[in-house]
């Protein structure tokens, strides 16, 4: 029998880390769980990666909030593992570590012209409009015509936020600097480019339907883009979500007969793969190659090219994970090497004692919340199995939070707590209520930290 509680550190307080902590806390073993987050606020990409005009964010955050408010999972914010505390130090003081840091940057994208200054990554733009504290407070919004490359929900989010009038975002929690930036935007047209056809795009029906409900924004689709091969027909007939997406796109096509009078437009171009970004010193346009379906749902270029005038390009082709200094990482795949959540030694390929991964850092940036939960279930099941087999043990007797608190305070790390998050949340809600909104995000990291730590100068910083 084990004579003391198992000490576990989870790195990353987004959905993956919170769900893993919750599942572990209910596993029936005696365990102390410390959840480390590099930002002063929890919730990861739910707070900093989803467009602010999606009401369902609140539902997800409410579920995560209810897990953390119980108090059996200790939240330690504003602490970056690999920087404030080394990975090896954490491993020394805990019996097990679960890495759940997600995917926080853009996948590489290289075509001629992709190095021009007005070519932006989706993650950077999303972090700006979501008020991420580690990203610039301003964003260059000088383009009247913009290209968005991608066929997923992030591409739709970016297109919608760019095209939406700021007044229609004022019920959300967008920060004041984001509102100010969007009000200066001269944008009239957003062109979204997807390589394949209606049956292959990765939009969800709700996201796609919402696009057509944005005031004073017309949705433009093109009849020649509605191409289907055998695999497309089979997918439409067998996959409910695909059938719904195709139905919504078809409705947009029928709507083209109506006169378009909105001041802004979102153009959905399918069967078009970017070939070159045009311009010498600045973006002047984008060249796309028309594609053709090959029978199995894949496409190849036709050799027919079309140029569109744009002054900025946003690439939304997927996220990519960042490594933690000192932890194993497969840079080619953008994940922690693992089997079923057990992290592997990069040289031997054998499982490393007491090291686990869950979420996008484990399997790549695919899947929604349901996938994250089942993913965490697998990882925690293996962690518990290893514990019950007597395979987990810290390398020191100075364990868990008792050791880490002393280390953080000795280094003057201004860590935050769950109570601190509640203080920050109350502060953001008070900013919102003053102008009839539910919340206004605080963006600046030092301000967030000072409010969370109840430091006397916090109000002066805002």
CATH number of the domain encompassing residue 199: 3.50.50.60
Q: What is the CATH number of the domain that holds 28?
A: 3.40.50.720
Question: 276, 303, 318 — which closes off a domain?
Answer: 318
Q: Quick: pLDDT tens for 431-446.
A: 999 999 989 999 999 9
Q: Give the separation between CA 110 and CA 103, rounded to whole angstroms.
A: 19
Asked whether residue 135 is domain-assigned, the answer is: yes
| 136 shares a domain with 65 | no
Q: Quick: pLDDT tens for 375-403.
A: 999 999 999 999 999 999 888 888 999 99
Of the two residues 365 and 340, the one the predictor is more confident about is 340
Asked whether residue 457 is domain-assigned, the answer is: no
Tell which residue, 148, 80, 34, has the closest CA to residue 322.
Answer: 80
Cα–Cα distances (Å) from 132 to 99, 108, 354, in that order, read: 21, 21, 32
H-helix or E-strand containing 253? Answer: helix 240-254
| 36 shares a domain with 153 | no
The mean pLDDT value for 139-154 works out to 96
What ranges make up the beta strands (E) of 328-384?
338-339, 342-344, 351-357
Structure tokens at 160: 């919608």
Q: Quick: pLDDT tens for 106-127.
A: 888 899 999 999 999 999 999 9
DSSP β-ladder status, 351-357 and 342-344: antiparallel
DSSP per-residue letters across 122-158: HHHHHHHHTT-TTS-S------SEEEEE-SSHHHHHH
| 328 shares a domain with 295 | no
DSSP β-ladder status, 264-269 and 217-221: parallel
Secondary structure of residue 115 in the 3-state scheme: coil
Average pLDDT over the chain reads: 93
In the block, residue with structure tokens 């790549």? 364
pLDDT band at 255 (very low <50, low <70, confident <90, very high): confident
| 356 shares a domain with 224 | no
Q: Give the separation between CA 452 and CA 423, rounded to whole angstroms.
A: 6
| 277 shares a domain with 193 | yes
| 10 shares a domain with 116 | no
Q: Quick: pLDDT tens for 162-190.
A: 999 999 999 888 899 999 999 999 999 99
pTM score, two decimals? 0.92
The mean pLDDT value for 284-304 works out to 97
pLDDT band at 429 (very low <50, low <70, confident <90, very high): very high
pLDDT band at 1 (very low <50, low <70, confident <90, very high): very low
| 232 shares a domain with 193 | yes
Asked whether residue 441 is domain-assigned, the answer is: no
User: Which letter does DSSP use for residue 332 in this model?
Assistant: T
DSSP per-residue letters across 372-435: HHHHHHHHHHHHHHHHHTT----SSSS-HHHHHHHHHHHTT---B-HHHHHHHHHHHHHHHHTT
What pLDDT sits at residue 3?
78
Q: At what angle do helices 230-238 and 240-254 cross, to 10 degrees?
A: 110
Q: Is 90 exceeded by the pLDDT of residue 298? A: yes
Number of domains in the chain: 2
pLDDT band at 54 (very low <50, low <70, confident <90, very high): confident
Q: Give the separation between CA 446 and CA 453, rounded to whole angstroms.
A: 10
User: Which letter does DSSP use for residue 455 in this model?
Assistant: -
Domain boundaries, position 198: 106-318
In the chain, % of residues over pLDDT 70: 97
| 295 shares a domain with 176 | yes
Q: Quick: pLDDT tens for 448-459.
A: 999 999 996 555
pLDDT band at 2 (very low <50, low <70, confident <90, very high): low
| 311 shares a domain with 184 | yes
| 332 shares a domain with 308 | no
Question: Nearest 5 degrees, angle CA 437-CA 37-CA 338?
Answer: 125
| 271 shares a domain with 137 | yes
Asked whether residue 219 is domain-assigned, the answer is: yes
DSSP per-residue letters across 148-210: EE-SSHHHHHHHHHHHS-GGGGTTS---HHHHHHHHT----EEEEE-SS-TTT----HHHHHH
CB neighbours of residue 145 within 10 Å: 20
């Amino acid at each position: 029998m084990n004579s003391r509680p198992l000490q576990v550190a989870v790195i990353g307080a987004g959905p993956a880390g919170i769900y893993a902590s919750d599942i572990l806390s209910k596993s029936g073993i005696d365990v102390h769980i410390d959840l480390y987050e590099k930002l002063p606020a929890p919730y990861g990409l739910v707070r900093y990666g989803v467009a602010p005009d999606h009401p369902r964010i609140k539902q997800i955050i409410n579920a995560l909030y209810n897990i953390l408010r119980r108090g059996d999972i200790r939240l330690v914010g504003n602490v970056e593992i690999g920087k404030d505390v080394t990975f090896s130090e954490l491993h020394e003081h805990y019996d097990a570590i679960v890495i759940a840091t997600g995917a926080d940057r853009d996948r590489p994208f290289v075509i001629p012209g992709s190095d021009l200054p007005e070519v932006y990554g989706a993650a950077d733009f999303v972090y700006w409009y979501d008020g991420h504290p580690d990203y610039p407070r301003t964003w260059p919004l000088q383009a009247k015509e913009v290209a968005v490359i991608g066929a997923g929900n992030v591409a739709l989010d970016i297109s919608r936020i760019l095209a939406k009038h700021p007044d229609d975002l004022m019920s959300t929690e967008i920060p004041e600097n984001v509102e100010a930036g969007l009000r200066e935007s001269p944008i009239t047209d957003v062109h979204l480019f997807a390589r394949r056809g209606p049956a292959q795009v990765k939009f969800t029906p709700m996201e796609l339907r919402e696009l057509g409900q944005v005031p004073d924004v017309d949705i433009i689709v093109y009849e020649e883009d509605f191409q289907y091969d055998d695999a497309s027909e089979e997918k439409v007939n067998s996959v409910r979500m695909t059938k719904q997406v195709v139905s919504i796109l078809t409705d947009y096509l029928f709507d083209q007969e109506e006169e378009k009078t909105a001041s802004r437009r979102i153009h959905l171009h399918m069967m078009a793969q970017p070939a070159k970004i045009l311009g010498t010193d600045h973006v002047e346009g984008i060249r796309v190659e028309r594609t053709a379906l090959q029978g199995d749902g894949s496409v190849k270029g036709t050799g027919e090219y079309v140029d569109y005038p744009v002054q900025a390009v946003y690439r939304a082709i997927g996220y990519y994970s960042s490594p933690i200094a000192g932890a194993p990482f497969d840079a080619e795949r953008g994940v922690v090497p693992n089997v079923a959540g057990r992290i592997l030694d990069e040289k031997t390929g054998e499982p490393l004692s007491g090291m686990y991964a869950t979420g996008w850092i484990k399997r790549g940036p695919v899947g929604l919340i349901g996938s994250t939960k089942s993913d965490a279930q697998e990882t925690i099941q293996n962690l518990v199995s290893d514990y019950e087999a007597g395979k987990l043990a810290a390398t020191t007797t100075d364990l868990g939070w008792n050791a880490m608190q002393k280390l953080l305070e000795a280094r003057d790390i201004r860590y935050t707590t769950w109570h601190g998050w509640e203080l920050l949340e109350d502060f953001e809600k008070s900013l919102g209520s003053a102008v009839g909104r539910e919340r206004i995000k605080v963006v600046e990291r030092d301000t967030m930290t000072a409010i969370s730590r109840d430091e006397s100068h916090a109000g002066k910083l805002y």
